[in-house]
Amino acid sequence: MIRIAAMADVHFGTDAVGTLRPHLVRLAEQADLLLIAGDLTRVGDPAEATILVDELRDVRVPIVAVLGNHDYHTDRPAAVTNVLAGAGITVLEGNSISFDINGIRVGVAGVKGFGGGFPGATASDFGEPEMRAFVGHTKERAAHLESALRSLECDRRIALLHYAPVPETLQGEPVGIYPFLGSYLLAEAIDRVGADLVLHGHAHHGSEQGVTEGGVPVRNVAQPVLRRAYALFCFDGTDNRVPVELPSPPELAGWRYNAH
Ligand SMILES: [Fe+2]
Ligand SMILES: [Fe+2]
């Protein structure tokens, strides 16, 4: 059995000391792995990442993350990544990592992803260079996700994204901003290879559950959607490949989401 804790959009600022740590005290006994689906910092300041890694210091399970758009805001994603990596957190961007846990090999392919929308309302790579660059960025990230998933020879594969691959987990957000919240190209990449679970964040007012056309479960684990510190999933190691959702810690007194 593999138990996975997942969260996104913690948006740590330099004033966030102590806001997350009390909610993580049981994580290591509840989960074998912690996955963080982007927007770790408020504006991508390495000082914010430093505060976050200190907050995560007592989480004694492997931590894997992808960056989100907030982590790029001040053009220092490499510095943010270095702070996280220095604390032992694996930061994925177009690559993967795998773990042997309780006799099951689980792989995580990670990419930030990007926008572009969903069938019926998509951006196209035509016209101005800025527009072609926008869609080109999404296509590139989707291709990197696909190759990262293909590289995994595992019993279970997880795609870890920041942007959404399906519109279902955006429900609750204004439809007009869907193209800035995700892209169907990410789901197409996932379905071409196959996966067992997709985790993303970014859509703070979205919904928890979705599924790709290929039948892969998608979960939006943005903290403001979860209304708790993290969600818990379990692969039981049998032929039943569908991850079971475990009861997560309830919202605790004193919870303060780090809005931006
Ligand atoms: Fe966010
Ligand atoms: Fe975001």
Q: How far is the CA of 44 from the centre of ligand 2 (A)?
A: 11
Pairing of strands 217-220, 197-200: parallel
From CA 23, how far away is CA 149, in angstroms rounded? Answer: 31
pLDDT for position 1: 87
Say if residue 43's pLDDT is above 70: yes
Mean pLDDT across the stretch 181-191? 98
Q: What is the pLDDT of residue 240?
A: 59
CA of 239 to the centre of ligand 1 (A): 35
pLDDT in tens, 81-134: 999 999 999 999 999 999 999 899 999 999 999 999 999 999 999 999 999 999
State the architecture of 2-246 in CATH terms: 4-Layer Sandwich (3.60)
Residue 86 pLDDT = 98
> Any long-range contacts for 190-194 (C-beta under 8 Å, 24+ apart)?
190/145, 190/146, 190/149, 190/159, 190/165, 190/214, 190/216, 191/216, 192/146, 193/146, 193/149, 193/150, 193/157, 194/149, 194/157
Q: How far is the CA of 180 from the centre of ligand 1 (A)?
A: 12
Q: Are 106 and 197 in contact (CB under 8 A)?
A: no
In whole angstroms, what is the distance from residue 203 CA to residue 164 CA? Answer: 8
Q: How far is the CA of 238 from the centre of ligand 1 (A)?
A: 35
Whether 249 has a pLDDT exceeding 90, the answer reads: no
Q: Which ligand is nearest to the CA of 9?
A: 1
Average pLDDT over residues 6-32: 94
Please tell me the distance between residue 76's alpha carbon and the centre of ligand 2 in angstroms: 16
Residue 250 has pLDDT above 60, yes or no: no
Residue 142 has pLDDT above 60, yes or no: yes
pTM (two decimals) = 0.95
Q: Are 241 and 233 in contact (CB under 8 A)?
A: no
pLDDT score, position 236: 79
Query: At 182, is the pLDDT very low, low, confident or very high (cuts 50, 70, 90)?
Result: very high
Say if residues 62 and 87 touch (Cβ distance below 8 Å).
Answer: no
What is the 3-class SS of 50-82, one letter each residue?
HHHHHHCCCCCCCEEEECCHHHHCCCCHHHHHH
The yes-or-no verdict on residue 254 having pLDDT over 90 is no
Average pLDDT, the chain: 93
Residue 258 has pLDDT above 60, yes or no: no
Question: What mean pLDDT comes out for the span 216-241?
Answer: 87
Bigger pLDDT: 255 or 7?
A: 7
Cα 103 to ligand 1 centre (Å): 34
Handedness of CA 47, 54, 206, 91 (dihedral sign): positive
* pLDDT tens, residue by residue, 60-78: 999 999 999 999 999 999 9
